[in-house]
Amino acid sequence: MTDITLLKKGRIGHITLKRPQTLNAVTYEMCVGIESALDAWRYDDEVELILIDADGDKAFSAGGDLHAMYKTASAGNFDYGRAFWQDEYRLNAKIFEYPKPYVALMQGFTMGGGVGVSCHGSHRVVCENSQIAMPECGVGLVPDVGGSLILARAPGRLGEYLGTTAHRMGPGDAIYAGFADYYIPQEAWADLTERLIETGDVGEVDKAALPVPDSQLAARQDWIDRHFAGETAADILRGLDDSELAQKAEAMMRKGSPLSVAATVQLVRRVRATDDIRTALIREYRFTSRAASEGDFIEGIRAAVIDKDRNPKWSHARIEDVNPMSVANMLMPLGENDLTFETG
């Protein structure tokens, strides 16, 4: 598979994303390949740990490959996207629950589907140019790939803030919010990789780590907690003050699908109450499986990825126009079609 390499090297299982021309967007085939490799290495005594990295300087992975989803969904075929999400979410849970250390080296952009194959690992490394975000509302989705659980576990109301504004986190912010663990300059990664291959000792990550950079989010925590505690997204908007920070937050919230923004607030709250990766993924899937047939996904992808006019015509004009019942309908159980974690 030219888009990814899956190799045993010394004492590690080494995964490398190799689509730098697309910012290493994760395809369906890549998800299947990663899962197969993890299954094989799980019981391989020669493999002490997993290392995932990516080619290129701009991005570890800026998200999932949405072109195939758009092509099928816009033609009225919603099964492809649902199958993709089912298999991708199973992989996300598998990474979260993996019994061996899972080291992720995340340079540049790590967003959406890229978060799903990295930020559930046990040893998550960022560097000086790392930018991590959950921008799904901008394409008519909600934070998924298990990202809702990371958001729910973030300090205070950071989850609501990050999920609805798509705020990009630098290395200090990413570690503070719980999306990463270690700060290691990128120039040290090649040497770290060689030591991991030779020794299989995940303690090498700790040895290479430097002090965590300052976090802007930590400095803004009190403000975020005050202004993102509203019961609904509309309540949050009504409660914002007239500060520059509030104006930027509102502008970012209003760029996303109003339905998605409203649902994200409720999703993060529900996931926070359960604090379980599989429950989080099940709740995410209830929305994403309906996103093309009943939500704004097709229009969001058209405006952001296909036509790139950045002018989506959402199903609701404003966040304030979203009926709570519309949110409830997108997040309600799917009955026999609810997500399972079985193969095939």
Residue numbers annotated as active site: 64, 113, 136, 144
**How far apart (Å, rounded) are the C-alpha atoms in residues 257 and 270?**
20
- The residue type found at 225 is D
- Check residue 21 and report its DSSP letter: G
CA distance 265 to 306: 28
Does residue 50 contact residue 85 with C-beta atoms inside 8 Å?
no
Handedness of CA 245, 247, 252, 256 (dihedral sign): positive
**Cα 302 from chain centroid?**
20
Which tokens go with 108?
């540049």
Pick from 52, 63, 194, 210: nearest CA to 127: 210
- Measured CA to CA, the distance from residue 204 to residue 188 in angstroms comes to 12
Sorted by sequence, the CB contacts under 8 Å of residue 259 that are 6+ apart come out as: 140, 295, 296, 314, 315, 316, 322, 326, 327, 330
User: Beta strands of 260-329 (E only): which ranges?
Assistant: none
